[in-house]
Structure 1
Amino acid sequence: MGSVNVKNNKLYFDFRYLGQRCREYTQLENTKQNQKRMTLLLKRIEAEIITNAFDYSDYFPNSNNAKKFAELNGKKNESKSYHNAVASPRLAGFADIWFKEMEVEWRPSHQVSMRGILDSHILPRFGKKKISAITKQDILSFRTDLAKVQTRKGQALSPSRINHIMTPLRMMLNEAADRYEFTSPWKNIKALKVPRTEVDPFNLQEVEKIIQGAPKEFKNYYIIRFYTGLRTGEIDGLTWKQVDLERKQLTVSQSLVRGIISPVKTDGSYRTIDLADRVVQALIEHKQTCHSKQPFVFTNKKGLPLNYQVVSRSVWYPLLESVGLKARNPYQTRHTFATLLLAAGEAPEWIAHQMGHTTTTMLFRVYSRYVPNLTRRDGSAFEAFLALGGDL
């Protein structure tokens, strides 16, 4: 309840509005008649406050509070409009529309990935909520909860995985905001910082140890992985049509991901690799012993393409342990290829092409620290330069 009080023989209002205490002073003398008039006016003010009809500036136009509450009410009205965008659907309904529109742009494997994220994470959390009612706080709370999720191995989701899950939510909110004319809540929300990709290549002696220790049916597989730099999906999806033994070349044009063959991800990934003699010999030997009628170069005992998860679990990691090397993911075979080429002194532009990089920038940023003569850590290149009078 508000009240009419006196200060310096002048009457003033004392009441609460939007959770704040308000005092509005008048020039009226402290008389019974003026007290009665102000008490009636205060009752009207409080009635309007209760019915949400009160406008501060109607009663106190010159008050500093009038401007302050006008701004607050403006934000409140904007928020009301924001949460009640015309024809704005629930997220589940919009997700179906958005997915159908986007899937024609995605590779099959990416479609499977996006569908999985929607069904496992986003729809259970936001599916029943009106898409225009999702707030920034909702988004940040969702991300915080993702950081608490445990994988099957009891590990927390990585920042990269969390960012990947958040991506379709961001895309849908921004697209819906544009279509249904509300303000997207995705403002100033930065992606989680992802640690630099772990690069831990093998040296040449370790490579040979792995190849020699590999099961007979996988020796050629690892020779080709280590000495072509193929990505896992690229070697698992490799067919004999892509291999030209006479020209000693291999064309990378497709990838096997989640059991689905798709074109390579980027124009740069589409490339022709020049094969070393050892790789050519390994392919010739493998062709004589493999399922020659199958289109894929490497298959399991049933003649089906390799499943990288099965190979990693049953062959790769046990192999590293058996030859006394620390566990490293299979992608290190690709990193190893790059560092060996650099150490051999091959032209960076040619190496970048072999790797499927459009420029040499990534090559030097990621791998140069593993090649002492490139990083000049031993000073030998400069010493040779001086000894030969600048003629190298």
Structure 2
Amino acid sequence: MKNKMENKRNDGCVCRKRGSAKLYLDFYYNKRRVVKTTGFDDTPENREQAQKILDGIIQKIAEGKFVFAKAFPGASEREKAYHAKFEGWTYRPEPSDITFETYVGEWKDTVWTSFRSETKKDDYEQALDDWLVPYFGDKTFEDLTGTELQIFIGQLRWRSGKNKGKPLSGSRVRNILIPLRAIWRSARSKYRWHHLEDPFEFVKDEKAVPRKKAKKPLVFRFHEWQNVLVHMDSFYRPMAEIMVMTGMIGSEMAGLRRQDIGDQSITVINSVVPRRKKKEKLEKEELKNDYRTGRCIPITSALRSRLDDVLARHDGDYVFTMKDGSRFCQNRFRQGAWETAFRRASMPQRHPYTTRHTFAAWSLTLRMDPGRLVKLMGHNTKKMIYEVYGDYVEGLEDDLMSILSYFGKDFVAQKRRELFALSLLDGESYGESQHVGLRNQS
């Protein structure tokens, strides 16, 4: 009696997969089992037709005339390359043979998994899932022309939030194009499509991506910063002050451990960043760049008092926590205590990253040696210091005395060019007395 699911022959069979109503060809070729759908529904007529196709394949295999890639153009590129090797030729598909989505699958299994940075993986995956595969998925690499890329860029819009329907910013567009360019170059290199015109050069020539407008980073004037602190939840106030006194960013704050705090300095080596596509946080002993990792920030008297406040609250390994006792989360801090303080103070909202810019600008106002500031900030050259923060020094001159009192005498290095600033300070440190006053406010 013939098996209901299979019509077997010695060299292969026509069968159905469990749970499928379609007929499949099942045979062995080049020491590997091959199972491919015919697309036919299981009817007697279709079984007969499928058997004829299988018989033809078996005959060509016996005669040495079978070409796998030609028989199954929809097979994976890896399968085609494997069988081509046994067939005595090198499989090199044309750009018109491979869809973007097909190559992305293989690229993620090989190149993407080799990325050391989990943040980079998340960024690439988000761009692929949200923007690139939905648009380019069924298009071949031959279709990925400069004109097509220009059309893609032109239709990019915010999908939610206050900017819904508006074009994405130039920087956001560039971030989406980074993985697209990486995948396009990977495919061109792998298949040696040297003749393929670079669509990104076309877009560059046509200036299709909105030019990024250089913006000077915002910096707090001293009275503005005091206004924010007065209106901030007292639980989070010392954390905000530590950020402005060290230049540390939210991910570094989240990763700071007790063991990283010594008698004389803080060693910044750890960070915790939220993963966009997953409900988890990634902890890593590497920062944004090698220059930021392992930098030492001297602990001044003013900084020590804030650290002691925070450390006295609990005995956990991580220095900073949320008010509910959970680990510090930069997004919750920004959306909660930080933005609330600005609303209460009737001030325009600013990002917590402003504290890092403020630390740099205030340090230059106090005539800190730029070489020292480069090390404290984790930059690799003085160029960033001069070009980004240099213009703020003149505007902050009126705040010099207040900044110096707030940071304390021991903040400024004992160098000849900085001695004049120390001579301005006399009596009790403003930072110490001010901190006590703010601590008593809710």
> What is the TM-score normalised by the length of structure 2?
0.61
Aligned residues: 288
Which deviates the most, 341-350 or 258-267?
Answer: 258-267
- Conservation of the 8 A alpha-carbon contact between 1:343 and 1:373: no
The answer on whether the counterparts of 2:169 and 2:210 sit within 8 Å (CA) in structure 1 is: no
SS at match of 1:216: coil
Write out the 4+ residue segments of structure 1 that deviate beyond 6 Å after TM superposition: none
Q: Which amino acid aligns with 1:272?
A: C
Partner residue of 1:303?
325
1:131 pairs with 2:141: yes
- The letter of the residue matching 1:210 is V
Change (3 A) 1:198 1:99: farther
CA deviation digits over 1:24-44, x for unaligned, max 9? xxxxxxxxxxxxxxxxxxxxx
Indicate yes or no: 2:246 matched with 1:228: yes
Of structures 1 and 2, the larger Rg is shown by 1
Q: Is the 8 A contact 2:95 2:142 kept in 1?
A: no
Q: Which residue of 2 aligns with 1:322?
A: 344
1:196 to 211, 214, 218: 214
Q: Is the 8 Å Cα contact of residues 312 and 330 (structure 1) preserved in structure 2?
A: yes
Structure 1: unaligned runs, 5 residues or longer = 1-83, 376-392
1:116 and 1:162 map into 2 onto residues whose CA distance is 13
Give yes or no for contact 2:95–2:141 (8 Å, CA) kept in 1.
Answer: no
Q: CA deviation at 1:210?
A: 2.3
Given the alignment, which residue of 257, 272, 287 partners 1:264? 287
Q: Over residues 71-103 of structure 1, what are the superposed CA-to-partner deviations in whole Å (9 max), with x where a residue is unaligned?
A: xxxxxxxxxxxxx71794221121122223133
2:367 to 333, 345, 358: 345
The answer (yes or no) to whether the contact 2:339–2:349 under 8 Å persists in 1 is: yes
2:301 partner amino acid = D
1:142-198, Cα deviation, whole Å (9 max, x unpaired): 11111x334322353221111101111111112211222321433243254212244
Amino acid at match of 1:310: R
Question: Which whole-Å CA distance do the structure 2 matches of 1:319 and 1:358 have between them?
Answer: 34
Which whole-Å CA distance do the structure 1 matches of 2:319 and 2:328 have between them? 10
**Aligned mates of 1:105, 1:94 — CA distance in 2:** 17
The reply on whether 1:178 has 2:192 as its aligned counterpart is no
Aligned counterparts of 1:265 and 1:104: Cα–Cα separation in 2: 18
CA RMSD of aligned residues (A): 2.3
Q: Letter of the 2:290 partner, please give it.
A: D
Task: Identify the range of structure 1 (337-346 vs 154-163) with the bigger mean alpha-carbon deviation.
Answer: 154-163
- 1:101-140 deviation line (CA, Å, top 9, x unaligned): 1332242122122111111111111112222332111111
Distance 1:357 1:282 in 2: 25
Instruction: Indicate the SS of the match to 2:150.
Output: helix
Fraction of identical pairs, as percent: 24
TM-score, normalisation: structure 1? 0.69
Aligned positions of 1:17-36 closer than 5 A:
none
Q: What residue in structure 2 maps to residue 115 of structure 1? A: 125
Q: 1:94 aligns with which of 96, 99, 103?
A: 103
User: What is the CA-CA distance between 1:199 and the residue it aligns to?
Assistant: 1.1
Task: Look up the match of 2:392.
Answer: 370
Q: 1:292 aligns with which of 305, 315, 322?
A: 315
